[in-house]
Structures are given as structure tokens and as C-alpha cells.
Structure 1
Amino acid sequence: MDRKTDIIDIKTLEQVPTVESIRKIQRERTLKLVFDNSLNNQREKIGKNLERELSGFQVGIHTIEPEINIRKLITDKEIEDNQDFFEECAKNYRLLGEKLLFKLVNNLDLKLNKDFPLETFNKLKQDKRQTGRIENWRYFVHGFHCGFENNKTAQIIEVPLVFGLEFGDLDPYFFTRFIKSTPKYLPLPVEIHEDYADGVRINEKMISLGKFEKISSNVGNHYGIVVTDREKVEIKSHEQLDKLYKERNKEIEKPKFDFWKFIRLKK
């Protein structure tokens, strides 16, 4: 659903809406404050103050246009009332991500590094296999993810590659895009207007409810968020992988046993 925009021209400071009045705006509407040139030098200060005061809102201070855009984000109550829905979405995300990834691995005849899948998929970035098609899906390897888009339904999912065999990491932006592009979820039981900002609030509230939890990744100082009710898998840390690779390299660098040299030394 597209939001309607209410525009207020600000020619004097007295025309700036109070925090109390802004809190009453509906999620279906955007409030746009357009500042007169004489007040534009105070616009950023006013915007920063609104950011501090308006918890649960997105306050956008435009860098070029003389305006501030204010949007109410999904509320704690809306998330709590729909927690079963978001939990189901998270479980489906995990299942579909795993299914598509292994389908691609088999299709391309890849030898998957189960401890660190990114190593396997990074090699695809060096040739023409970085993008392609598999059945009804178009795929694209990028960053820490392999993205998939269904050619028929337009469903979108980004499968993480830095959590071992855990493919259910719920990046807030990718998670909400998955929800909004999945036909069987439509119409949504609750509107998601801001893909990233609403996604962050959904994840944070679901963690507080015990439905989601944080996990560490293969990459240092990087974590993910997954559904709590799942079959847990081991995720090796950056330190564990580093140690593992060093041990493997030592094995590779060991001189091969020379049987004939051994015989000569015995003589």
C-alpha cells in the first residue's frame, strides 16, 4: 500500500508540529515538512531533535531539498499481535534458502565448503557463473549472499553464505522483501512500509519475544538473526576457520614420503 503524504509549509518556527501531534499520525501517511529558505539553516537542528524525541519513527532530513519527511514505523503491538506470522515467515525463509542453495550446488556441480560456503561461491565471481538461471529461478552471487528471484512469481530471497550450513539469517531488508514478494502471504496481516527500518523493528521485537535469536558468523564481528525454533547447526568462528586452514596448509606443505630414499638411508 502506497502512503499518502501530508505537506506542511514551514515559514515560521511556530509552524513546526509538536512531537505530541506528530506521534498521532497514522502509519499509512507520511508527514513532509517543507521549510522556507529563511529557516533552512535551522532545519537540520530541528530534524535531529525530532529524531531524538520520536522513538518508533523514521525522520528523514533531506540532504538537498529543504524538507524533513517523517514516517511512523511498525509498532511493537503490531509485531506482537503477528508474531506467529513472522515466525512462520522466518522458518519458510530458512527452508527455501537451503533448498535453493543445494539445488544450485548440484546444478553447477560445486564442491561445497560446508564450514565456509562463501569460499565456494566466491569462485563463481571469477567466471560467467556469477549469474544464471536454475529452473524458475534467476540467481546472482554478491557480497555475503546468493540472491534468487522467481521468474514466475517474482518472489525474492537472499541466501547467506557466512554461517556454515545455516541459511536462515534474517537480514532486516532482505527478510521484509521476502515477505512482501511471497504470494501466499498476500494480503499481509500487517503492512510493512519501510523495508529496512520496519525490518529492524520486527527483528528486535521478535528477539525480545524469544522467537528470534542472534548467532555469530564465520566472519569476525559479524552476526546474524535466525528463528529460535529450528534444528541448530554448528557455525565455525573466524578463529576456528583460520586454525583449520593453517592445519590444512601444513598438511599440503609436508614433504612427500620418498620410499627409495628411505631404503638408501637404511643401507
Structure 2
Amino acid sequence: MNELEKKIVTEAILDFDKTAKKLIEKLLTEFGVDKKEKNPFNKFISIKNNLRKGNLSENWTYWFHGDACEFENSETKQLVYVKINRNGNYGVIDNYYLYKFILTTKSLKKVSNIISNEKRFNELILELEKAKIIIDIGENEFIKTRVLNFNKIN
């Protein structure tokens, strides 16, 4: 991996992390949910209400499924897939959805121009893991929770 690829992928992950946290905060604020609650997302996951899917301000839709919430901007079509079950680690890295985030984020066009396919992107993510820039903070070997290692980022 060359330094340019390392830099732009790391910047893209930082952008994803920031966007994911912003959208989670927006969701919680708009629905009056305290993130310090033991299970703040139970309100959305429950089948008893109609909150699994809906709209937020600024053209965002959300959809809870499994252990994640998918956000999409109805105007720009930006897609942000956020894992929600890891004690406030909303920047969990899922290769497929991170790549979709890059492809749908206008400000990251340079990344998709340089890294032109998903196979190369996955190779770069693996290299970032080997360099410990991406680390697994999962509870055990079966539950992966890969996040940026902020101690390794310049």
C-alpha cells in the first residue's frame, strides 16, 4: 500500500466515523432518547411501534435492522450504515458498507477515483488491519468490532 492510498482510506474512515456519530446523535436528539440509557435503541428496534423506519430532518431516512441502522440522504443518496450494538462505537468498520459510503459521498470522489474497485479497497483495509491502524475491539473471536485505532493516526 502506498502512502497516498493509506492516507485517503484513513481519511475516508474518519469521515465515515464523524458522519455516523452525527447521524446517531441526530436520531437520538430528534426522538428525545438519552444515549446514556442502558439500551437507548430499544425504542427503535421494538416491533410494537412504527419507529424501525422513518425520516429525520435534513433529508435523512433511517431503517433499523439487525444490529445496525441504515441512513440514506434522500437528496444526495449518500448511504451510511451504522452498527449500533457496541457500547457507543458507532464507527464500526464493515468493508462493504464503508465502500458504499465512499461511493455515495460527494466529498470522497477522489478516493473512489484512486481506488477504483472494491477488491483493491478490501486489500487496503486488510493492510490497515495488519498495520494496526484498524483494530478489533470485539468481545470474542466470533464478534468482530473493527474500529480505527486513533493512537496510530497522525
Q: Which has the higher contact order (CA 8 A, sep 6+)?
A: 2
Structure 1 residue aligned with 2:109: 186
User: Which protein shows a greater Rg?
Assistant: 1
1:81 positional shift: 4.0
1:129 positional shift: 1.2
1:229 positional shift: 1.4
| Equivalent AA in structure 2 for residue 227 of structure 1 | L
1:120 positional shift: 4.5
Structure 2 residue aligned with 1:93: 16
2:43/2:51 contact within 8 Å kept = no
Taking the aligned partners of 2:27 and 2:35, their CA distance within structure 1 comes to 10
Does 2:52 correspond to 1:130? yes
Structure 1 residue aligned with 2:149: 228
Q: Which ranges of structure 1 fall in alignment gaps of 5 or more residues?
A: 1-76, 231-267
Q: Secondary structure at the match of 1:110?
A: coil
Q: Secondary structure at the match of 2:55?
A: strand
Taking the aligned partners of 2:93 and 2:10, their CA distance within structure 1 comes to 11
1:202 positional shift: 2.8
Residues 55-76 of structure 1: per-residue CA shift (max 9 Å, x gap): xxxxxxxxxxxxxxxxxxxxxx
How is 1:239-250 mapped onto 2 (pairs within 5 angstroms)? none
The count of residues paired between Structure 1 and Structure 2 equals: 149
Does 2:58 correspond to 1:140? no
Structure 2 residue aligned with 1:168: 91
Structure 2 residue aligned with 1:241: none
Residues 116 and 82 of structure 1, relative CA distance in 2, 3 Å threshold: farther
Residues 109 and 118 of structure 1, relative CA distance in 2, 3 Å threshold: closer
Taking the aligned partners of 2:10 and 2:34, their CA distance within structure 1 comes to 32
| Match of residue 203, structure 1, among 108, 119, 125 | 125
Taking the aligned partners of 1:175 and 1:208, their CA distance within structure 2 comes to 18
1:225 positional shift: 1.2
Taking the aligned partners of 1:85 and 1:177, their CA distance within structure 2 comes to 15
1:208 positional shift: 1.4
2:33/2:40 contact within 8 Å kept = no
1:171 positional shift: 0.5
2:34/2:40 contact within 8 Å kept = no
Taking the aligned partners of 2:138 and 2:63, their CA distance within structure 1 comes to 24
1:103 positional shift: 0.9
Percent identity between the two aligned chains = 20
How is 1:32-43 mapped onto 2 (pairs within 5 angstroms)? none
Structure 2 residue aligned with 1:38: none
Residues 78-110 of structure 1: per-residue CA shift (max 9 Å, x gap): 6x5411111111111111111111111111122
Structure 2 residue aligned with 1:18: none
Q: Normalising by structure 1, what TM-score?
A: 0.50
Q: Secondary structure at the match of 1:141?
A: strand
Q: Which ranges of structure 2 fall in alignment gaps of 5 or more residues?
A: none
